[in-house]
């Protein structure tokens, strides 16, 4: 379904460049209010939360004005992780939720993500309806029909308490030392409180946002700082979140970095041991084949969705399973959250550690990932892979070389102008060369 403004995870770009401008956000807010307006004239309610970027103030104000002009009531949450906004959308019985964030991108980018009233990502159909309304003339409702805006002052506290409620009552984090990296993002006032109130001793980094330092040298996309701090402090585990808190990276006591696949393996095995496992879990096209093999040994299936947590969630619902996620660290515990939630996923891993009495290293020992290499190739806007026979020929050569012992995947990014080239196989040197071969073909064509 063709979409003009929405990518794989909402609308995102550099602040000041279309569509991340105040005039567009005004129109987007108005269009959203019109789409969610009920036929009986009842005013829709929309909650708005954001991460810590300086541009959040500007975009929040513009969206609020547009929504009110369309006759929608607005509830402002302030800085709050994406999954917290999804939660408040549900608990406030709102018609929709809006997240102002560019996730792991630098501070000069920003974007918009939407939730429906159930706290799940919007369907493609609803996004298309909003886009169509954006292209319509903007008309403000009569004054008596204007919406109102209010602020939920204790939004952060509500989310903290919910996160804590997902940790088993019979367990505690007392005696455990954790390093928490908040990426100077939306978890800065959330994650430390959650883990400390459950009994952990915490060392916190990346928790002094100033509007400009989000994801700067810290967070899940820059885990070196976390790894170093875990070793320096002699901590049991390190946990890093991204800018909007919907994904995480974890580090064991040896300073070794875990992927989202490691986290999924730990959670799947913990649930299996407790007798509450489904028939399988949902991953993506990027999920390591080693996880698929490890799950098979335990009688579990791996179903692969398109990349993007919305597609993971859709396949989870279709399969009737409660666990899914991405290698990047978006982990969805569907029985606890409607979307990827870094804090809740971390708590479930810590629960597995506490309940088993084993270290995180021991819990991941049954998963042996196949070597995988990912190369990002920058492209020009509008570049079409399918129109370049030299790329197709390079892919055929690589797939022939792999001969069923691995995988080649080309995937255009939904958030930046790059083609992601992933090669997976049993020989690290060989897959590096094969990935470079395909990447070079794309660079020459681009």
The structure tokens 């009920």 sit at 38
**Which tokens belong to 328?**
């990047």
Cis status of the peptide bond prior to 229, with omega within 30 of 0: no
Distance CA 166, CA 274 (A): 16
The structure tokens 């770009």 sit at 13
Taking alpha carbons only, the member of 329, 310, 312 closest to residue 267 is 329
Residue-by-residue DSSP string for 321-373: -SEEE-TTS-EEETTT-SS--HHHHHHHHHHHHHHHT--HHHHTTT--PPPEE
Distances (CA, A) of 25 to 14, 55, 64, 121, 131: 13, 12, 9, 19, 12
Pinpoint the alpha helices (H) of 38-154: 56-69, 82-91, 124-134
What SS3 state is found at 25? helix
Catalytic residue positions?
103
């Amino acid at each position: 379904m063709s979409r003009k403004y929405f990518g794989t995870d909402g609308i995102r770009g550099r602040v000041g460049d279309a569509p991340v401008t105040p005039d567009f956000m005004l129109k987007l807010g108005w269009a959203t209010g019109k789409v969610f307006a009920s036929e009986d004239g009842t005013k829709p309610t929309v909650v708005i939360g954001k991460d810590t970027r300086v541009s959040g103030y500007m975009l929040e104000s513009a969206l609020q004005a547009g929504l009110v002009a369309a006759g929608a009531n607005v509830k402002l949450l302030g800085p709050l992780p994406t999954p917290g906004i999804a939660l408040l959308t549900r608990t406030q019985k709102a018609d929709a939720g809006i997240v102002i964030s560019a996730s792991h991108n630098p501070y000069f980018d920003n974007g918009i993500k939407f939730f429906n009233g159930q706290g799940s990502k919007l369907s493609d159909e609803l996004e298309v309806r909003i886009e169509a309304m954006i292209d319509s003339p903007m008309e403000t409702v009569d004054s008596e029909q204007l919406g109102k805006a209010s602020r939920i002052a204790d939004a952060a506290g509500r989310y903290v308490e919910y996160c804590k409620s997902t940790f088993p009552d019979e367990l505690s984090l007392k005696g455990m030392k954790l390093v928490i990296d908040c990426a100077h993002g939306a978890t800065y006032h959330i994650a430390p409180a959650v883990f400390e109130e459950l009994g952990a001793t915490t060392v916190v980094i990346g928790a002094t946002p100033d509007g400009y330092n989000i994801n700067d040298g810290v967070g899940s996309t820059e885990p070196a700082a976390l790894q170093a701090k875990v070793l320096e402090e002699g901590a049991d585990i390190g946990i890093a979140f991204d800018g909007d808190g919907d994904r995480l990276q974890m580090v064991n006591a040896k300073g070794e970095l875990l992927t989202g696949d490691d986290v999924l393996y730990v959670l799947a095995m913990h649930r299996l041991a407790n007798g509450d496992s489904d028939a399988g879990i949902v991953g993506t096209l990027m999920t390591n084949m080693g996880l698929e093999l490890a799950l098979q040994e335990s009688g579990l299936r791996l179903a692969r969705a398109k990349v993007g947590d919305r597609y993971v969630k859709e396949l989870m619902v279709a399969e009737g399973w409660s666990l899914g996620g991405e290698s990047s660290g978006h982990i969805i515990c569907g029985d606890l959250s409607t979307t990827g939630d870094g804090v809740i996923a971390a708590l479930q891993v810590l629960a597995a550690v506490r309940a088993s009495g084993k270290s995180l290293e021991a819990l991941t020992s049954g998963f042996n990932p196949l070597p995988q290499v990912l190369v990002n190739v920058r492209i020009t806007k509008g570049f079409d892979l399918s129109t370049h026979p030299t790329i197709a020929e390079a892919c055929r050569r690589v797939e022939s070389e792999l001969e069923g012992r691995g995988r080649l995947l080309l995937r255009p990014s939904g958030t930046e102008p790059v083609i992601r080239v992933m090669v997976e196989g049993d020989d690290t040197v060989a897959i590096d060369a094969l990935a470079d071969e395909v990447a070079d073909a794309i660079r020459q064509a681009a």
